[in-house]
A = this chain, B = another copy of it.
Amino acid sequence: MTIQTVSTNKSYGGVQGVYRHASSATKTDMTFSVYVPPHQDGAKLPVVWYLSGLTCTHANVTEKGEFRRACAELGLIFVAPDTSPRGADVPGDPNNAYDFGLGAGFYVDATQEPFARNYHMWSYVTDELPRLVAEHFPVDAKRQSVMGHSMGGHGALTVALRNPHRYRAASAFAPIVAPSQVPWGTKALTGYLGPNKETWRAHDTVALIEDGAKYSGFLVDYGDADNFLTEQLRPELLQAACTKANLPLTLRRQPGYDHSYYFISTFMSDHLHWHAARLTA
C-alpha cells in the first residue's frame, strides 16, 4: 500500500504530516494526518487514534487540537483520519445536511444504497488505515489507543468496546453515547444500516455495554455549556450503563465549556496522559 505525502512540517521536535492514499475500503482517495514525535532511530512508538466529529476532516484537530506538545513529551504517535469518504462520485445527504453523508460517516460500514459502496468507515479506521500506518510509520502495533470527539467519541468508544485487546485505552470529548436514542444517531444509522434496530446495537456504546461488552475503563469529558448535551450527547445514559455493568468510567462535567475545539484543546493533555499511562504500563 502506497501513500502520497501532502505536507510535512516540523513541530515540537517531531513531524506533523498529511498524507493521501487510494483506499480499498471506501473506494476513494482518503487524506489523514500523522504526528510522529521526536524519537530514537529504530524505536517503535505507541499510537493514539483520534476520530473527529461531524463536518470535520483530519485538519480540524491537526490545526486546533493542541496535541503535539503532550505527544512530544510522552512519545506518542497521533493519527487523525477523515470522517467520511469524499469525492465527486460519493453520494451525500439528499438535502446537503451537515449530519449525514459527507463529513458524517459515523464509523460504520453502510449496508444501504446508495451508501454501501463508499461508506465503510468502520473497516477503514479499524483495519485498512491501521495496516497502512503500521507499514509507513514507526508504530508499535501492540500499543494502540483511541479517542474522539462527538461523532468521533461515539466511534472511539465503539471501536474500543469491540476491540478491547487492541486498544489499551479509550477516551472521548463530548461523545454521542447512544446513537440509537438521539436524532443524529437515528438519522445516520437508519440511512447507513437500515431500519432494523438490531443492526444498530454493534454501533451504539450504551447498547454494546448492555449486551455485555467489557472494557478496562473510559475517560469522558463534556462541557455543561455544550449546546448538544441534552438532546444528542446524553452522558447520563453512559453513566447508567457503566454503573449497571460495573464498567469503570471517569466522567467529568466541565463547567462553562462548549462543544468546540476550545474545549477539546483544554483537556487534550489530560487525555493524552491518561492514554500514555495505559500504553506504557
- A263 contacts the other chain (CB 8 A): yes
Contacts of A265 in B (CB 8 A): 11-12, 66, 68
Q: Contact at B263–A9, with CB atoms within 8 Å?
A: yes
Q: Say how far A67's CB is from chain B's closest CB, in angstroms.
A: 10
- A225 contacts the other chain (CB 8 A): yes
Q: Contact at A262–B66, with CB atoms within 8 Å?
A: no
- A39 contacts the other chain (CB 8 A): no
Most buried by B among A11, A16, A223, A257: A11
Q: Say how far A57's CB is from chain B's closest CB, in angstroms.
A: 15
8 Å CB contact of A257 from B10, B64, B256: B10
Chain A: number of interface residues, binned into ranges: 20 to 34
- A258 contacts the other chain (CB 8 A): yes
Contacts of A13 in B (CB 8 A): 266
Copies of this chain assembled into the complex: 2
Q: Which of A195-227 contact B (CB under 8 A)?
A: 223, 225
Contacts of A63 in B (CB 8 A): 63-64, 261
Q: Contact at A10–B258, with CB atoms within 8 Å?
A: yes
- A260 contacts the other chain (CB 8 A): yes
Q: Contact at B11–A262, with CB atoms within 8 Å?
A: yes
- A165 contacts the other chain (CB 8 A): no
Q: Contact at A16–B262, with CB atoms within 8 Å?
A: yes
A256 to B11, CA, bound (A): 9
- A69 contacts the other chain (CB 8 A): yes
Q: Contact at A262–B10, with CB atoms within 8 Å?
A: yes
Q: Which of A91-128 contact B (CB under 8 A)?
A: none
Q: Say how far A264's CB is from chain B's closest CB, in angstroms.
A: 10
Q: Say how far A161's CB is from chain B's closest CB, in angstroms.
A: 30
Contacts of A9 in B (CB 8 A): 258, 260, 262-263
Contacts of A68 in B (CB 8 A): 262, 265-266
Most buried by B among A64, A261, A265: A265
Most buried by B among A9, A12, A257: A9
The answer to whether A10 and B225 touch (CB under 8 A), given A16-B262, A262-B16, is: yes
Closest 10 CB pairs of A and B: A9-B262, A11-B262, A10-B256, A12-B266, A10-B257, A66-B66, A63-B64, A11-B266, A9-B260, A16-B262
Q: List 14 A-B contacts (CB under 8 A).
A: A9-B262, A10-B223, A10-B258, A10-B262, A10-B263, A10-B266, A11-B263, A11-B265, A11-B266, A12-B265, A63-B64, A68-B262, A68-B265, A69-B69
